[in-house]
Amino acid sequence: MIKDLRQISTQTVGLIQEQQDEILKDWIESQLTADTLRLDLMDQKKLEQESKALLKALTAALGGQGRDFTAPNWQAVNGLLKEISEARDKAGFSPTETATFVLSLRHPLVERLLSSKKISSLDEEVWLLLDILDQLAIFTTEVYQRRREATIHRQQEEMEELSTPVVKIWDGILALPLVGTLDTRRSQMVTEALLDAINTTGAEIAIIDLTGVPAIDTRMAQHLMRTVAASRLMGANCILSGIRPQIAQTIVHLKINLGDIKTESTLAAALKTALATYGLKVTVSE
């Protein structure tokens, strides 16, 4: 937001206040004839209401003392714009359409100023007014963007929660089905979840299943090694399973050394090995 905003003269504010109804009429008319009109998303009554409320708040804010948009007298405008921007985003308006709504006020406002003969230093007043409206339009876009960012953030968190389940598949045997790629952040979460599960269940074997992993690189291999090393420090052994032929080829190609980590082709094979270490065996009942 621009901090150094010079005050609009009281003359101009007075003029806008006086002619508020006419300005509003012009504004709504211009919106109704514009290309960006979306009566499919919002009816005319709502549009008139929003326009009226915004113009009223704007006039009040212009008459106030504060020079920048964080000042108390701009709070009503900020709040209103935030509301409008969010509502329009939900209704399906594009950010351009919402910004155009604010920018479309430029024409009727400036026209009134120009046709009035009473205002001194007219050029400066017009520029100031245009600057303010530009800022307001940018603000609506910013609100829109912030909403999007919040959504992305929330989804990311949900995804991370969903993607690190540690399941107990037998007494003393845990399974960690990995889906997607492991970055530093995720690998830390996965390791933490696994170690906590080892601690609480007292499992001695953890099967890390890579069936849902599309590709592997040196970095991810390193993360895996760390998870295995940390589990070993606690006293649990890891078995890697579900390594696909392509991934196995990559591992060989990249000369990644998985050390002495035990690997099995499928989760079933890994489970069999794990059961065997406990001296268990699955047989057909008589």
Partner 1 sequence: MTLERIAIVKIEECLLVTIQVDMHDRLALTLREDLGERLLTTQARGVLLDISGLDTLDTFIARVLAGISSMAKLLGAETVLVGMQPAVAMTLVELGLTLEGVHTSLDVDRGMALLKKLLV
The distance of closest approach from Cβ of residue 198 to partner 1 in the complex, given in angstroms and rounded to an integer, is 7
The Cα-based distances of 47 to 42, 168, 169, 211 in angstroms read: 7, 57, 59, 53
The distance of closest approach from Cβ of residue 236 to partner 1 in the complex, given in angstroms and rounded to an integer, is 7
The distance of closest approach from Cβ of residue 213 to partner 1 in the complex, given in angstroms and rounded to an integer, is 20
Here the contacts of 24-30 (C-beta below 8 Å, separation 24 or greater) are: 24/51, 24/52, 24/55, 26/107, 26/108, 26/111, 26/112, 27/51, 27/55, 27/104, 27/105, 27/108, 30/104, 30/107, 30/108
Among residues 76 and 230, whose Cβ is nearest to partner 1?
230
Neighbour order of strands in the sheet with 237-241: 167-170, 173-179, 205-212, 237-241, 262-264
Could you write out the DSSP letters of every residue in 131-151?
HHHHHHHHHHHHHHHHHHHHH
The distance of closest approach from Cβ of residue 228 to partner 1 in the complex, given in angstroms and rounded to an integer, is 9
Among residues 118 and 226, whose Cβ is nearest to partner 1?
226
Among residues 54 and 190, whose Cβ is nearest to partner 1?
190
Among residues 219 and 226, whose Cβ is nearest to partner 1?
226
d(CA 212, CA 233): 26
d(CA 160, CA 190): 9
The distance of closest approach from Cβ of residue 36 to partner 1 in the complex, given in angstroms and rounded to an integer, is 54
B/e letters for 135-167, b = 16+ CB within 10 Å, e = fewer, are: bbbebbeebbeebeeeeeeeeeeeeeeebbebe
Give the count of beta carbons closer than 10 Å to the beta carbon of residue 15.
19
The distance of closest approach from Cβ of residue 234 to partner 1 in the complex, given in angstroms and rounded to an integer, is 5
Among residues 109 and 195, whose Cβ is nearest to partner 1?
195
The distance of closest approach from Cβ of residue 187 to partner 1 in the complex, given in angstroms and rounded to an integer, is 11
d(CA 141, CA 36): 16
Among residues 37 and 189, whose Cβ is nearest to partner 1?
189
Among residues 44 and 184, whose Cβ is nearest to partner 1?
184
Tell me the pairing of strands 167-170 and 262-264.
Answer: unpaired
The distance of closest approach from Cβ of residue 232 to partner 1 in the complex, given in angstroms and rounded to an integer, is 6
Which tokens belong to 113?
Answer: 């100023």
Among residues 12 and 187, whose Cβ is nearest to partner 1?
187
List residues near partner 1 by CB under 8 A: 188, 191-192, 195-196, 198-199, 202, 204, 226, 229-236
